[in-house]
A = this chain, B = another copy of it.
């Protein structure tokens, strides 16, 4: 058939840049709107990873500037360790180039595709090269590059390179300009906010076409950077073992101990014994059948699980709660970090939090925040294992309505940290369905579900008590009146009694005989941290205790006391004077405050 020859003339190699140029939606460039978020995400991921490796507290600037009708310039700048000049073109101008792909440890970027894909997208839509500035320290100058990608061969093309002065001591700045739109601004802000939630050690400043946003640090501790580990004998596949053996010059035992994590003297002997191979054999030169025996033995012999604590960096329960609290102000938040587990030899940790009430919408489905290796996942919620696992939990058992995911004022946060997060596509939008991870997510959500159930029933109980108290209070004035009538005395003031029953903070001011008395009773079950303001014509110079601050405004004195009052305790101050003036209080919820002026 001549056709085979004819077809052969059309056969050719496809560069990975050509492939992703055509399939750009796989990398998160399916629309101009999305491209802007993908680019920022990839650049910020790189910045955070680099700062983590350098143990520097990240200080990241994100800028978006409209330059033409539908063209935006995206700028991301960090204070990381910088990139040596000879590497810069490859990092930004070649897909599948990076330092993290071959290392077994948790990192945000894994593939060496993301940021080069943004450069590719820019040259495809606008033809504008990327500008990169990088400086590796105060002893060297910064370098500025103009970079494009030779798509047909997936190699960088440097259009310009020069040394420049730069006020950052070290760090990297990238500017990429492409067709885009700011239609997804809300989602972009969500991305920045959620990134701040799970990276409390990072400071992120953003200037989105003139509008400024600041996400300040919640913590000044740097993250201990995860360390790369060797592969685990239980997770390795035949092809990888073969490659490792071929590249090794060691004898079997040393090969096993040095090449794999958790293999020591004893396990190594055991593995070699079980494989039936001679202990003095070299790893190099083993035949296929021999390697198969070795692999079988490696996967049979008991070995401890991979050293997850070295190579993974979970956020931690306290920091998750603090992050959620800072951003959402809920009535209830609990968080759990599970122990590390393993899938196909890759260690992973699942952590999660559940929040309730506050400003969350009381109707509609729960809000799900998904994270992988400290990166928020913004797209393809429906295709993600996290959503799917959350739908498998029987939330009705925890007194929540449910249509798949729970319904009501609920927030669910799940973070999957792994040396190899299995994503459903290169755009890293959704976690793929790995049974071991699924199980962990379900277990942690069940644990948190039980705690939420306890909270809700406690709250319901409190509500019931409050309602009863309210009923009692509503008849108190009547009772007081009747009793006063019977015993022939004036009707007493029941306010304080009511407040006591209702567990409130009561502030009273009384003026009599040239003395002013301000007293505060804290009937709640929580300590109260109050600021009490009194504005009147009295200077209160003889007050006991004295005001913490006095300000004269016109004829009046604004006096201010800062006080701490334990639960069910009281405080008072007294001074010479005759004027009532006004009393106001800060530091307690309005619904818990009663201010009484006794004449």
Question: Which A positions have Cβ atoms within 8 angstroms of B?
Answer: 1-5, 7-8, 10-16, 18-19, 21-23, 25-26, 30, 50, 53-54, 81-84, 86-87, 90-91, 94, 96-99, 101-103, 111-112, 123-127, 136-137, 151-152, 170, 237-240, 242-243, 288, 291-292, 380, 382-383, 420, 422-426, 430, 432-434
Contacts and interface: CB of A to CB of B under 8 A. Distances in A.
A558 to B, nearest CB: 53
Contact of A1 (B170, B380, B382, B430): B170
A21 B243 CA distance: 13
A422 B27 CA distance: 12
B4 A83 contact: yes
A251 B303 CA distance: 70
B99 A12 contact: yes
A22 B101 contact: yes
A283 B144 CA distance: 32
Nearest to A243: B151
A432 B30 contact: yes
A231 B3 CA distance: 24
Nearest to A429: B424
B22 A420 contact: yes
B383 A4 contact: no
A237 B125 contact: yes
A124 B111 CA distance: 20
Nearest to A26: B425
A380 B425 CA distance: 12
B425 A14 contact: no
A346 to B, nearest CB: 10
Nearest to A388: B382
Contacts of A425: 26, 424-426
A19 B96 contact: yes
Contacts of A81: 1, 3-4, 7
A292 B68 CA distance: 13
A94 to B, nearest CB: 7
A425 B429 CA distance: 11
Nearest to A103: B10
A430 B383 CA distance: 11
Nearest to A97: B13
A129 to B, nearest CB: 10
A483 B131 CA distance: 103
Nearest to A240: B124
A83 B8 contact: yes
Given A1-B81, A125-B237, 19 more contacts: A1-B170, A3-B54, A4-B82, A4-B84, A4-B136, A7-B81, A8-B83, A10-B99, A11-B99, A14-B97, A15-B96, A16-B19, A18-B101, A21-B239, A30-B434, A124-B238, A125-B238, A127-B239, A382-B382
Nearest to A112: B14
A87 B8 contact: yes
Of listed A23, A53, A102, residue having the most chain B CB within 10 A: A23
A412 to B, nearest CB: 19
A111 B239 CA distance: 24
20 contacts: A1-B82, A1-B136, A1-B170, A2-B137, A4-B137, A4-B170, A8-B83, A10-B99, A11-B90, A12-B98, A14-B111, A21-B239, A22-B420, A23-B426, A25-B422, A26-B425, A30-B434, A127-B242, A424-B424, A425-B426
